[in-house]
Amino acid sequence: MKILITGASGFVGSQLVKHLSEHKLTILTRAPERTAAKLGAAHHYLSDLDCLANLDGFDVVINLAGEPIAGKRWSERQKQAICQSRWQITAKIATLIKVSRNPPSTFISASAVGFYGRQHEQHIDERFQLSKESQNEFTHKVCAQWEQAAQNAVSNATRVCIVRIGLVLGANGGALAKMLPAFKLGLGGPIANGKQGMSWIHQTDLIRLIEFMMSNEHCSGIYNGCAPTPISNQMFTDAMGKALKRPTFIPAPAFALKLALGEMSTLLIDGQYVVPQKALADGFEFRYTNIDDAFSEIFK
């Protein structure tokens, strides 16, 4: 198959490229030479979507592009970068699909569990109806417009799958790479009261889920990209300490995080217990549903 991938140089994207290397991959990147050195010269690289008049000839488009949401403090300028880096490219892809005579049959676009906002300890799935309060949160607003831009590509010729991705666990990147130094030094601990939900997914299962949606024509619509067993921050912390054989007694108080990170602290203090009902109903089987097993594989 001929596949166009955006966001391929990121933590998830680079693994996806490796997994799909048997296909003909075209990779959109702002730095073609640097990305080719990282991902391999066998793929075709584009620096801008403007060089394409349509997406004729592509079978699948996988859109993972976006400014890291936890990369910098959320100033108004950074919020705009987070939004526009997702909204603009997704809208452009949808437009190119719509003007194609022979459009891709499948468009898979990333979103995030932040769509649901703060939901305390309630377990939720794709059918959950958000309150007006949740809809006013920044993470929801980012995801809602991001998803709508992707949904604009839906037609009889193109099915759209949107993956609301949770905390992706892997040894060589993502959030776990930022946590590891402190935990290895025995400085890890629960965040705030430790009761907030952490909707996690092993990197292998996320790549497999994307491939599952790509390969199964019955898949379309919204999917929660997380394991069917969300856990509390306290449970996550205990499991990580156990896997690393390190103590986890040093908490991170909510007030200190708010002082240090501002509004972005909501990513750590608040959470969701998100369940992938749609993926399970469509027949996807997770390899890692137990956090201890996930950490055991990652830190083996």
Tens of pLDDT, residues 253-267? 888 888 888 888 898
The yes-or-no verdict on residue 18 having pLDDT over 90 is yes
The yes-or-no verdict on residue 187 having pLDDT over 90 is no
The answer to whether 229 and 277 are in contact (CB under 8 A) is no
CA 64, 145, 81, 269 dihedral sign is negative
* pLDDT band at 134; cut points 50, 70, 90: confident
pLDDT value for 287: 98
Average pLDDT of the chain, as a whole number: 95
Structure tokens at 140: 């929801």
The answer to whether 240 and 296 are in contact (CB under 8 A) is no
Q: Taking each helix axis as running N to C, give the angle between helix 11-19 and helix 32-39, from 0 to 180 degrees, rounded to the nearest 10.
A: 60
The yes-or-no verdict on residue 133 having pLDDT over 90 is no
Q: How many domains does the chain have?
A: 1
pLDDT value for 174: 87
The CATH number given to whatever domain includes residue 145 is 3.40.50.720
The answer to whether 100 and 74 are in contact (CB under 8 A) is no
Q: What is the DSSP string of 203-271?
A: HHHHHHHHHHHHH-TT--EEEEES-S--EEHHHHHHHHHHHHT------B-HHHHHHHHGGGGHHHH--
Structure tokens at 107: 């468009």
DSSP 8-state code for residue 67? -
pLDDT value for 31: 93
Task: Give the span between the Cα atoms of 16 and 21, in whole angstroms.
Answer: 8
Mean pLDDT of 184-204: 94
Structure tokens at 44: 């075709």
| Three-state secondary structure call for residue 274 | strand
Nearest CA-CA partner of 93 in 14, 7, 185, 222: 7
Q: What is the DSSP string of 272-296?
A: -EE--HHHHHTT---S--SHHHHHH
* pLDDT band at 150; cut points 50, 70, 90: very high
Task: Give the span between the Cα atoms of 138 and 108, in whole angstroms.
Answer: 23
The answer to whether 5 and 26 are in contact (CB under 8 A) is yes
pLDDT value for 294: 97
| Three-state secondary structure call for residue 68 | coil
Backbone conformation region of residue 222, classed left if phi is above 0, alpha if psi is from -120 to 50, else beta: beta
The answer to whether 286 and 228 are in contact (CB under 8 A) is yes
Nearest CA-CA partner of 82 in 36, 25, 139: 139
pLDDT value for 212: 98
Mean pLDDT of 112-129: 94
The yes-or-no verdict on residue 171 having pLDDT over 90 is no
Q: In this predicted model, what pLDDT tens digit does every residue of 42-99 receive, in sequence order?
A: 999 999 999 999 999 999 999 999 999 988 899 999 999 999 999 999 999 999 999 9
The yes-or-no verdict on residue 178 having pLDDT over 90 is no
Structure tokens at 192: 């705030």
The answer to whether 8 and 15 are in contact (CB under 8 A) is no
pTM above 0.85, yes or no: yes
| Residue scoring higher pLDDT (187 or 66) | 66
* pLDDT band at 237; cut points 50, 70, 90: very high
**Residue range of the domain that includes 12:** 2-298
The answer to whether 186 and 132 are in contact (CB under 8 A) is no
The yes-or-no verdict on residue 37 having pLDDT over 90 is yes
Mean pLDDT of 13-28: 97
